[in-house]
Amino acid sequence: MTDHEQGFLTAPIEGKLLENLAAKESRFVELEELLGDPDTQGDGARFQEILKEHGRALSLVSLFRDYRKQRGDLDEALELAEGGDDPELKELALAEVEPLEAACREAARAIRVALLDQQAGDADDAILEIRAGAGGDEAALFVADLFKMYSFYCEKHRYKVEVLEEASTDLGGYKEIIFGVKGKGAFGRLCFESGGHRVQRVPATETQGRIHTSAVTVAVMPEAEEGEIEIADKDLRIDTFCASGPGGQKVNKTASAVRITHLPTGTVVSIQDEKSQHKNKAKALRVLRSRIKEAQDRERHEKEASLRRSLIGTGDRSDRIRTYNYPQNRITDHRINLSVHGLERFMAGELDEMIDQLVAHDREERVQHL
């Protein structure tokens, strides 16, 4: 933790932040009243929605109330110590000032940490999309390598991986692969992987030993809960078609593949991984909800002038957040100018050193914008 961040976290709560916390407390009181209202209790869906909002606010409001009590006790002690006529009372008040100041600093820190964690997103499950960019077959092979890397990482953290869609190539790579990751804190750890990833290495198909540069893009989205993003049937166009495999070969002769277009946003999702049209449709809706949620979150963050996370790249070599340099056995993250060595270990899922640095950098940036 930097000196700046440490100082910010323990500074007094005041100004706009104090107003925002007071507003959150007011809303919390309103939610408590609604939960006790018989009309709300009779509406199951609304009651659950309010109960969930109440639960999310409970911890922060409790921290704010604790801070306000500590700050009130401190102000009272300072007033007695500075303006009291009774020497004995002044001495007692002075003895209380230091521990109350420490309690206030700790309470302020707890509030700011809670706010930073909320800003980082409280989603656990994630959906990742990896796509080949510049580099042809070599880019597709690197998509497969990244998928294995993330799968190893998820296994180490006991996250569950579920492939939702894949478009494989004859050489064993992927033009695209979409997969879900389920587990506590999964999105919070993996969200920094969004962007362009560049690889420099000698491809297995290269006969003259020349180093090639290829690029892929990674998109990480929080998986939207089923009731979180409402999608009206009238806003969807659903097309079915026969699934096909590498090189265009037919996987089956029935129209099991599904393409869903969200008409208001133009978002399109195609899934053909399952032989069942019903299962493909369910997977496509999961991906669609998450893409819409990610777009809405990004738009909201931009409107609020909050910190903007790295956006999905185009797949071009120049659009990169990270470079994997095999000849030099080095991985470089260009957002924080951090290089680490040991590619074999990194590709085996040992990403925590890099992710920890990205989390720390992200927190420092958020401190500046809180």
DSSP per-residue codes, 241-289: E--B-GGG-BS-SS--EEEEEETTTTEEEEE-SSS-HHHHHHHHHHHHH
Positive or negative CA dihedral for 236, 241, 243, 249? Answer: negative
Q: How far apart are CA 60 and CA 25, in angstroms?
A: 9
137 plus 20 within the same structural domain: no
195 plus 256 within the same structural domain: yes
Q: What is the CATH number of the domain that holds 99?
A: 1.20.58
The answer to whether the beta carbons of residues 160 and 181 sit under 8 Å apart is yes
* Residue 182 and residue 69 share a domain: no
- Helix, strand or coil for residue 28? helix
If you ran DSSP here, which 8-state letter would residue 312 be given?
P
Report the pLDDT value the prediction gives residue 304, as an integer from 0 to 100: 42
Q: Report d(CA 305, CA 211) in Å as an integer.
A: 42
Are residues 74 and 130 both part of a single domain?
no
Q: Which of 119, 144, 159 is the last residue of a domain?
A: 119
Domain that holds residue 174: 126-369
Q: Could you give the CA distance from residue 196 to residue 28 in angstroms, rounded to a whole number?
A: 41
In Å, how far are 58, 168, 239 from 67, measured between CA atoms? 14, 55, 56
C-beta atoms surrounding 109 within 10 Å: 17
Last residue of a domain, one of 64, 99, 119: 119
Rounded CA-CA distance 297/121 in Å is 10
Instruction: Pick the last residue of a domain from 119, 143, 163.
Output: 119
The pLDDT of residue 228 is 64
Q: Tell me what pLDDT residue 310 has.
A: 40
- Cβ atoms of 328 and 321 closer than 8 Å: no
Strands 257-262 and 236-241: antiparallel
Give pLDDT, residue 78: 87
Judge contact between 153 and 351, C-beta under 8 A: yes
155 with 198, same domain?
yes
Phi-psi region of 316 (alpha: psi -120 to 50; beta: other; left: phi over 0): beta
Q: Are residues 147 and 266 in the same domain?
A: yes
pLDDT of residue 291: 83
pLDDT of residue 1: 55
pLDDT at site 162: 92
- Are 179 and 95 contained in the same domain? no
Q: Sort strands 195-201 and 322-325 into parallel, antiparallel or unpaired.
A: parallel
According to DSSP, the β-strands at 174-182 and 160-168 are: antiparallel
Length in residues, the chain: 370
* Residue 96 neighbours by CB under 8 Å, 6+ apart: 73, 77
Give yes or no: residues 159 and 46 share one domain: no
Q: What is the tally of structural domains in the chain?
A: 2
Sign of the Cα pseudo-torsion (60, 186, 163, 170, in order): positive
For residue 251, report the phi and psi dihedrals to the nearest 5 degrees.
-85, -40
Residue 218, domain CATH: 3.30.70.1660
Residues 23 and 112 in one domain: yes
Amino acid, res. 122: D
Same domain? For 147 and 114 the reply is no
- Asked whether 6 and 46 are in contact (CB, 8 A), the reply is no
Q: Which two tokens stand for residue 23?
A: 């507003």
Q: Which parts of the chain have pLDDT scores under 70?
A: 1-10, 84, 119-123, 207, 225-228, 243-255, 297-319, 367-370
Predicted pLDDT at 307: 37
Do 141 and 113 belong together in one domain?
A: no
The answer on 79 and 143 residing in a single domain is no
Q: How many CB atoms are located within 10 Å of the residue 315 CB?
A: 19
E strand or H helix at 186, and its extent?
helix 186-190
